[in-house]
Structure 1
Amino acid sequence: MPRGCSTASPRPGSCPPPRNQKRGPMHRVILHGSCRVDGRSAALADELFNACIEECPDDGVSIVSVASTPIQPCTGCDQCRDEADEPIHVFQEGDPLLPCETVVESGALFHPCVIDDDMNEVRKHLDAADELIVVCPVYFAGVPAQMKALLDRLQPYYYTDLRTRPKRPAVIHVVGAGGDPHGFEPLIGTLRSALSVAGFTVELVLDWVGKIRANGEITAEAEEYPLPPIGGFGALAREDADEDAAGDGADADDGDDVDAARDDAWDDAWDDADANRSTSRAKLSVSQVPSPQNAISADGNGTGRAQGRKAHSRNNRKSGGKGGPAYGKKNAKKKGNGRGGHR
């Protein structure tokens, strides 16, 4: 097994239910997108991992850290377009990372990448995930280079129909020291686009910027950040402008009317966004992250943590599927752990 991800054997006596059952234990994957092994993001990822273990002991949970997982950038060769004769993963009975039903049905397992690195093992964790939790720092309003390399390597999923099937939920935890006036909406857009191809939909964004000290101490609750419209405010403005122009009976050549309508729609969109940020953004603790009601069930049990912070797995599974982990309310303000600074 590559050194980036690891999973231990199932619990003795456990018997995973068939994959086609709607209800059953869940498997969560925490994707740690920082290029630093220790720091603010690592501290939060550890809190989430421990909270999942404590509050949903029968569920499975894995951590995949890009800081310790060698992933080369995509070369754009498009060879992943071709369908292979054999699946990229071979699973044995009781494997805690058996892929979700939607992944199997999409044919995603037959679209390999020609680059031989740990991305295949990362895909194994993503394919098994019923819910994805992304912990990512902000670098110039976007994701770090190492995280971007991982996201670009999700390209093989694009050549399957996984993105058109029912999506699995994803939650984004944005971490940073704060101070960038440009915010982090590019980060949200990048993650939404790439994860959608892999079969996930972002349902919640939690803003931790300025709320975690360099030593890992959490000083305040996260705030729920409003999801920007798909395509950004520019796309929203174009849609409104086209509707306004059509409603006014504007001709296709009447560019002035269309431009004016787009300007008005753009101003309205930003006014609404500013109002939401200043008055409507609700305080939301990480303990309030909702658990999806219709999550696809996962199979297999097992526990494990890889050396360093490469990847961790715990596979005690929880049946029933209702309710979810409080994600660390009890540990919301822990003592400093001596970690270095940065994000």
Structure 2
Amino acid sequence: MPRCCSTAPPPPGRRSPPMHRVILHGSCRADGRSAALADELFNACIEECPDDGVSIVSVSSTDVGPCIGCDECRALSEEPIHVFQEGDPLLPQETVVESEALFHHCVIDDDMDEVRKHLDAADELIVVCPVYFAGAPAQMKALLDRLQPYYFTDLRTRPKRPAVLHVVGAGGDPHGFEPLIGSLRSALSVTGFTLELVLDWVGKIRADGEITAEAEEYPLPPVGGFGALGLDGEDCGEAMADGGESPASFVGFAEEEFAVAFETEDDDGGRDDDWGGGRGERVGSSSGSGSGPDCRGRAKLSVSSPTPAVKDEAAKGSGGARGSHGSRKSSGKGGGPAYGKKNAKKKGNGRGGRR
């Protein structure tokens, strides 16, 4: 069974504040293999880390239109995209607060602002996505493209938050899923995340959601592809024929170099998870006594030992964004969060609400 987070204890004499994890479910189907795995991860996070917050954002029930390339998000707004009050479970993560990310708005009026609220609150991001012809489904790709406002901020040059990708599919496509990895890696990088781990579930989850085998760790391809290494297909073939490393294990540009490359750029800047796929806000509460394992470490997800899933039948099929939250501290002065340039506050219910 999938595990959500680390059980490593904190350093002696110190306990880290609660974390918030976001599960981004990238399938257009609300009841397929990907949805089943996302629910298992959600339940595992609640059971293993009861003091931490967790929420799911599902593209199957989220209205996110495609980017229209207007570049209006380049402009720096006078007001932040969101205002918060003390105690809100979706307060933005400290790195986001210190950047200009909250001041770059999108002109399209849909659910993307709510998606951004969850992403901005995430200390860790878990992406569950099926493979459509080696890449992401159209709905998921639209969401990734709408992360463009972050491109015009300095968030990509700041310390990155970890992200993990769970790839889901029925199997049978020989073309793999590295385009999915590349697209997700690029979009998440400007959003302030770094993809640390890819877990391959292709062929390991039945159509009814039953997990039949453990995921395998998939080697991260070089950033920028083989062109970044100065290699063509023939070079890679010769290297493998000579007993060299698999191309997937080559090391490319470092993330820091990638960020520098962005700074110098011109400003103009499978199928359904039931048959395709290559190999290769429920905002509720989960009260915890703190007696469970401490899960504050930035560890990669483990699939080595089974974790009993806490079934939540009422949440099945509810769609949208849903979550379970512990407490979260604000980084602002005077009891409210600071947003870099502004410090706007607005009263709310302090729970994140239900969309």
**Same-fold call, TM > 0.5?**
yes
Q: Are 1:34 and 1:137, in contact at CA under 8 Å, matched by a contact in 2? A: yes
Q: Taking structure 1 as reference, are residues 225 and 55 closer, same or farther at Cα in structure 2, changes over 3 Å only?
A: same
Equivalent residue number for residue 110 of structure 2: 117
- Paired AA for residue 246 in structure 2: A
Rg bigger for which structure?
Answer: 1
Residue 233 of structure 1 deviates from its aligned partner by 2.0
For 2:200, the equivalent position in structure 1 comes to: 207
How far residue 203 of structure 1 moved from its aligned partner, in angstroms, is 0.3
CA RMSD of aligned residues (A): 2.8
Question: Given the alignment of the two structures, is residue 268 of structure 1 paired with residue 248 of structure 2, yes or no?
Answer: no
Gaps of 5+ in 1: 1-20, 239-258, 278-288, 295-303, 320-343
* Residue number among 12, 30, 53 corresponding to 1:60 in the alignment: 53
Deviation at 1:305, TM superposition (A): 6.0
Aligned residues: 257
Q: For 1:1-343, list aligned pairs within 5 A.
A: 23-238=16-231, 263-264=234-235, 267-268=238-239, 272-273=245-246, 291-292=297-298, 308-317=318-327
- When normalised by structure 1's length, the TM-score is 0.70
Residue aligned with 1:272, SS:
coil
Q: Secondary structure at the match of 1:45?
A: helix
Letter paired with 1:123: R
Q: Determine the C-alpha separation between the residues in 1 that align with 2:205 and 2:223.
A: 29
The gaps in structure 2 that reach 5 residues or longer are 1-13, 251-294, 301-313, 330-355
Q: Could you say if the C-alpha distance between residues 59 and 275 of structure 1 is closer, same or farther in structure 2, counting changes exceeding 3 Å? A: closer
Distance in 2 (alpha carbons) for counterparts of 1:87 and 1:307:
32
Alignment partners' CA distance in 2, 1:38 and 1:87: 35
Cα pair 1:305 1:314 within 8 Å, conserved: no
Change in CA separation of 1:189 and 1:305 when aligned onto 2, cut-off 3 Å: same
Asked if the contact 1:234/1:266 (under 8 Å) is kept, the reply is no
- The structure with the largest helix share of the pair is 1
Q: CA deviation at 1:234?
A: 2.6
Partner residue, 2:277: none
Q: Is the 8 A contact 2:99 2:153 kept in 1?
A: yes
1:146-185 Cα offsets, whole Å, 9 max, x none, are: 0000000000000000000000000000000000100000
Report the 3-state secondary structure (helix = DSSP H, G, I; strand = E; otherwise coil) of the residue aligned with 2:54.
Answer: strand
TM-score, L = length of structure 2: 0.68
Residues 1:88 and 1:78: Cα distance change in structure 2 (over 3 Å): same
Q: 2:38–2:128: 8 Å Cα contact kept in structure 1?
A: yes
Pairwise CA distance, 1:267: 3.5
Cα deviation for residue 318 of structure 1 reads: 9.4
Report the CA distance between 1:291 and its aligned residue: 4.6
The residue type equivalent to 1:292 in the other structure is R
Shift of 1:315: 0.2
Q: Is the 8 A contact 2:87 2:327 kept in 1?
A: no
Distance 1:267 1:38, change over 3 A: same
> CA 1:225–1:182 in structure 2 vs 1: closer, same or farther (change >3 Å)?
same
CA contact (8 A) 2:236 2:247 kept: no
- Partners of 2:247 and 2:81 in 1: how far apart? 46
